[in-house]
Amino acid sequence: MEPQQLVTDDSSQGTDVTRALCGFLASLRFDDIPRATIERAKDLLLDHVAVALLGTRECATRAVRDTIAAWGGRPESSIYGSTQLVPRAHAAFINAAAAYSVSLDDMHNESLSHPGSVVIPAAMSVAEALNATPRQFLTALVAGYEAQGRIGAAARNAIARGFHPTGVAGTFGSGAAAAHVMQLDSAGFESTFGIALSTASGSMQFSSDGESTVKRLHAGLPAQGGLTAALLASAGLRGPKAALHGQYGVITLFGGAGDATRLTRGMGETWEIDQINFKLHACCRWFHSSIDALLACRKQRSFAPTDVERVLVRAPAAALENHMQYRPKSTPSAQYSLPYAMAAALLLDTKDPGAFAEQHLADPAVLALMDRVEAESDPSLDRWLPDRFPGLVRVHLKNGELIEEFRQDSVGTPDFPVHRADIESKFHALVSGIATQEWRDRIADAIFRLEDGPSISGLTSLLRNLPAS
C-alpha cells in the first residue's frame, strides 16, 4: 500500500490525532523538509557519532555490547567501532547505549528527552540492513525526531510520575524512524506505535541510587523496542489504534494530564529537530545554564576555587529535584549531581566527560567545593519553562565580594545556538584520542555530503573501521 498524501493538520482526521500524526510521518518525503532542517540533521548526526564513539569505551557500553553481540543472528548492521555485524535490533540497542554513556547527547527541551541517542541508531541500523538511500535515511531521522519530540512533549508530565522521558518517548521515536526507512504506510505507523506502547518504559529510580548505571539502557531499550515494533508491524502484527491519545494511550498512561493537541500542532510548519539542544557539558541538561553562568562569573572577576566562600544556584524546582547528591558514587550519579557539576566546572572541565570519572569523586578539593554549593528553587524562573532551562548563580568570595550572573538558557540551544564549526570542534575534541585526523575528516565529509551518495554504506564502513590515533 502506498503512503497517503502529506498531512499538515488533523482537520481531516477529526479528533484522531494519533492517526493524523501517523499519516504525516508516513507521507513525509525528503523534498518536504526545509534545506536548513536537513543540514541540522547532518550536524546532529556528526554530534551523535562523536558522542557514541567516545561512549564505546565506557564499561557499561562494553557490557551491553558483549552481552547482546553474543546472542548472534543475521550479520546485517554495524556496531560503532567494531568490525562485527549483528541483527539490526541488536545494533540499535548497542549503539544507542554507547551514545547515552557520556551525557553529551542532544536533547529536546519540551519533551525532556534525548532523541539523537535513540533515533539515529535505530534509523542507521535499519537503513544499513535494507541498503536504503541516504535521502531515505535523513528523512527517517527527521521523522523520528518529530515523533519523539511531539509525543514526549504531549506526555511531558511523565517525569513527575516517575517515568524517564527518553525511555518512554524514545520508543516512539525509534519506531517512527525504523518504520519510515521500511516505508510503512499510515496504518503501519499506527500499528508500530500501538506495539511500541506496550514496550515503552523507563523508571526514574536510578536517580535515587548513586551506584546505578542502568540509565545507559534508557536509550538502548527504546531503540531496540521501537525498531522491533516496526518490524512486527511490517510482518502483520496489529497494534491498538489511538495508542497516543486513547484512554490508555501514552499521553494518559504516562503523561497524566497531557496535551494531545501537541501531537499535531504546527505539523509540517515547525520541525522538532530544529528545537534540539547540543550539549556542551557532560552532565544533566538542567545544569547547563547554571554552569555557563558560573563560568561567566569567573570571567567577570578572576578567582581561584579556594577563594570561594559559597556558590548559590537559583533554578526551577525541577532542576534541583533528585539532583542534590553531595557524595555521588558513580559517573552517572556525578553527572546527575548539581553540587558536583558546579565544583567540576571550577576545578576541572565539564566539557570533558573525564571530569565526571570516578577517580575525581573522592578528590578532597572536589569534595570541599561541593560542600560550598547551595541551591534554592526560584518559582519566578518557571516562566521560562519548557522552552528554556534558566539558571542564576551567585558566587560569594571569602573577601566579601559577590559576583552574579543569570542565563535564560545555555549555549547550544536554539536561542543561543552553536554552529557547524562548533559542532566539528566538539567532534574532533571527543574523538581525537580514538581515531586519526584523516579518518575524522573523512567521517565529517561523508556526513555533510551524505545525500550525494547511493547508500549509507560508506559511512557505516568508516564507523566500523577506526584507525587508532
- Are residue 217 and residue 332 in the same domain, yes or no? no
- The whole-angstrom separation of Cα 197 and Cα 404 is 46
Question: Would residue 448 count as lying in a domain?
Answer: no
Query: Is residue 13 scored above 60 in pLDDT?
Result: no
Question: Would residue 376 count as lying in a domain?
Answer: yes
Question: Would residue 230 count as lying in a domain?
Answer: yes
- The whole-angstrom separation of Cα 268 and Cα 266 is 6
Query: Is residue 12 scored above 90 in pLDDT?
Result: no
- CA distance between the termini of the chain: 49
- Are residue 102 and residue 63 in the same domain, yes or no? yes
Question: Would residue 311 count as lying in a domain?
Answer: yes
Residue 428 CB: number of other CB atoms within 10 A?
15
pLDDT tens for residues 58-85?
A: 999 999 999 999 999 999 999 999 999 9
- The whole-angstrom separation of Cα 78 and Cα 221 is 17
pLDDT tens for residues 29-63?
A: 999 999 999 999 999 999 999 999 999 999 999 99
Query: Is residue 10 scored above 80 in pLDDT?
Result: no
Q: CATH number of the domain at 320, please.
A: 3.30.1330.120
Which residues contact residue 371 at a Cβ distance below 8 angstroms, ignoring those fewer than 6 apart?
326, 339
Cell of 266: 504546527
Query: Is residue 6 scored above 60 in pLDDT?
Result: no
Which residues contact residue 463 at a Cβ distance below 8 angstroms, ignoring those fewer than 6 apart?
49, 53, 78, 80, 81, 443
- Are residue 207 and residue 63 in the same domain, yes or no? yes
User: What is the percent of the chain where pLDDT is above 70?
Assistant: 97
pLDDT value of position 11: 35
Averaged confidence pLDDT in the chain: 94
pLDDT tens for residues 164-186?
A: 999 999 999 999 999 999 999 99
Q: CATH number of the domain at 201, please.
A: 1.10.4100.10
Residue 12 CB: number of other CB atoms within 10 A?
10
Q: Which residues, in sequence order, are bridge partners of residue 397? A: 308
pLDDT value of position 360: 97
- The whole-angstrom separation of Cα 389 and Cα 109 is 8
Q: 464: part of which helix (H) or strand (E)?
A: helix 457-464
- Are residue 31 and residue 158 in the same domain, yes or no? yes
The SS3 assignment for 184 reads: coil
- Are residue 383 and residue 323 in the same domain, yes or no? yes
Question: Would residue 217 count as lying in a domain?
Answer: yes
pLDDT value of position 15: 65
- Are residue 309 and residue 259 in the same domain, yes or no? no
Query: Average pLDDT of 115-131?
Result: 98
Question: Would residue 435 count as lying in a domain?
Answer: no
Question: How many separate domains does the chain show?
Answer: 2
Write down the pTM of the prediction. 0.94
Q: Which of 258, 277, 296 is the last residue of a domain?
A: 277
- Are residue 145 and residue 272 in the same domain, yes or no? yes
Query: Average pLDDT of 296-324?
Result: 95
CA angle 133, 138, 143 (to 5 degrees): 120
User: What is the percent of the chain where pLDDT is above 90?
Assistant: 91
Q: Which of 247, 277, 307 is the last residue of a domain?
A: 277
Structural domain span for residue 309: 285-407
Query: Is residue 213 scored above 90 in pLDDT?
Result: no
Question: Would residue 427 count as lying in a domain?
Answer: no
Q: Which of 352, 374, 407 is the last residue of a domain?
A: 407
- Are residue 381 and residue 399 in the same domain, yes or no? yes
Query: Is residue 246 scored above 90 in pLDDT?
Result: yes
Query: Average pLDDT of 425-433?
Result: 96
- Are residue 159 and residue 263 in the same domain, yes or no? yes
pLDDT value of position 469: 66
* Cβ proximity of 26 and 189 under 8 Å: yes
pLDDT value of position 425: 97
- Are residue 343 and residue 400 in the same domain, yes or no? yes
Question: Would residue 48 count as lying in a domain?
Answer: yes
- Are residue 146 and residue 270 in the same domain, yes or no? yes
- Are residue 177 and residue 55 in the same domain, yes or no? yes
pLDDT tens for residues 373-426?
A: 999 999 999 999 999 999 999 999 999 999 999 999 999 999 999 999 999 999
More confident residue, 15 or 193: 193
More confident residue, 49 or 258: 49
Beta-sheet pairing, 373-377 with 308-315 = parallel
The SS3 assignment for 392 reads: strand
